[in-house]
Structure 1
Amino acid sequence: MAKQRADSPCVLPGDPAWIHDARYVQDILASLAAAAAVAHDYGDPEKYVLPHLPFQVAADTIGQIRSDLPPARHDTVYLMALPAFQLEALWQVLGVLQRARDADEDATEVLDLVRDYAMRCCLPPRRVDDVVSDMERILAILSLDIPAVHKVSTTLLLEGERDDAFRSARDELFAAWRAAGIGP
């Protein structure tokens, strides 16, 4: 999965289930932000690997996307611009979650918090692997960088004609999202 260029808009599926179902991830990241802030205040700024700000930015970004997407329309795509710092925060947090999942000793506190939250506060209970998979899925959508993204975003930005090339590119996006486990 390649990181998205800062100047590329995000093309998002018309069905927002992919991000609405990730509400629990947003809550976990907000909890990690709070825990990292407290650890910093008590002189242990590396206890949660990252400072609190990337966790908070990542949580806020997921919340922003969740609230900004219109009601579901399965045959539609949406264009959203996210600042590079928000995408970078999501990538940083994903890296920490992967380290925790892989039992990196520097990420032990992250693993403990994520595992406890996911098992005790989520219905149904989730595993750390589920949290990582859902973060990867979010970033797969936000960072998709194939020619179809460029065709669709250019057409939408320039209010171009929705011709056969546009529909073909949109269908390629739908196929890519289905391959990532998103959509019908």
Structure 2
Amino acid sequence: MTKNRADYPCVLPGDPVCLDDAGYVQEVLDCLAAAAAVAHDYGDPEKYVLAHLPFQVAADTLGRIRCDMPPARRGAVFLMALPAFEPEALWEVLGVLRRARDADADAAEAYDLVRDYAMRCFLPPRGIDEVVADLERILAVLSLDIPAVRTVATTLLLDGERDDAFRCARDELFAAWRAAGLSGLPGTGAPS
């Protein structure tokens, strides 16, 4: 499969419960986007390290993924093409959150905002370590680049036969996602 520079094919688990953490992470990123926009309006565009746009693109990407997921089907996989700038924005934001977690002075405002928002606005309360870990897990799913991804994506894109090669590749994806920390995934040999 030839990858167009503008599209980033992602294979996602067919059960959105695996990406439940994307909802609260999206809210955190929306909050950062709003704060960065206000900081920009008041002449401090680097207060949250990045301008508001990467935060907003990252939040919108998580929202679109969550909205575009088909009805849950355990053992299924779902193909989604993302414009390349969307995963790039998620990686940029992850970099800011890592800097904040690691006490980088330039990311102190981001740390304070994320810490306060995640601790006070969610049940159970979340820490910045959890926000970083959950975004890392989401990105591990979106950026997984193993041969199994190409096999599954090609089969789904071409509406090909779900043969043994497809099922084996799908099972490799589930194993890789479990290794990345996603829970609720079926074991090997799940029905297609």
After TM superposition, what 4+ stretches of structure 1 lie above 3 angstroms from structure 2?
A: 5-8
Paired residue secondary structure (1:126): coil
Paired residue secondary structure (1:82): strand
Structure 2: which amino acid aligns with 1:109? Answer: E
Specify the alignment match of 2:60 in structure 1: 60
List runs of 5+ in structure 1 lacking aligned partners: none
Deviation sequence 1:115-144 (CA, Å, 0-9, x none): 000111010000100000010011000000
CA contact (8 A) 1:58 1:93 kept: yes
Mapped to 1, the partners of 2:173 and 2:132 lie a distance apart of 23
Specify the alignment match of 1:14 in structure 2: 14
Question: What is the percent sequence identity of the aligned residues?
Answer: 77
1:6 Cα deviation from its structure 2 partner: 5.5
1:8 Cα deviation from its structure 2 partner: 4.1
TM-score (norm 1): 0.95
Paired residue secondary structure (2:12): strand
CA RMSD of aligned residues (A): 1.1
List runs of 5+ in structure 2 lacking aligned partners: 186-192
1:18 Cα deviation from its structure 2 partner: 2.8
Q: How many pairs align?
A: 180
CA contact (8 A) 1:19 1:65 kept: no
Specify the alignment match of 2:177 in structure 1: 177
TM-score (norm 2): 0.91
Specify the alignment match of 1:100 in structure 2: 100
Mapped to 1, the partners of 2:66 and 2:100 lie a distance apart of 26
Structure 2: which amino acid aligns with 1:28? Answer: V
Mapped to 1, the partners of 2:104 and 2:87 lie a distance apart of 23
Mapped to 1, the partners of 2:6 and 2:104 lie a distance apart of 30
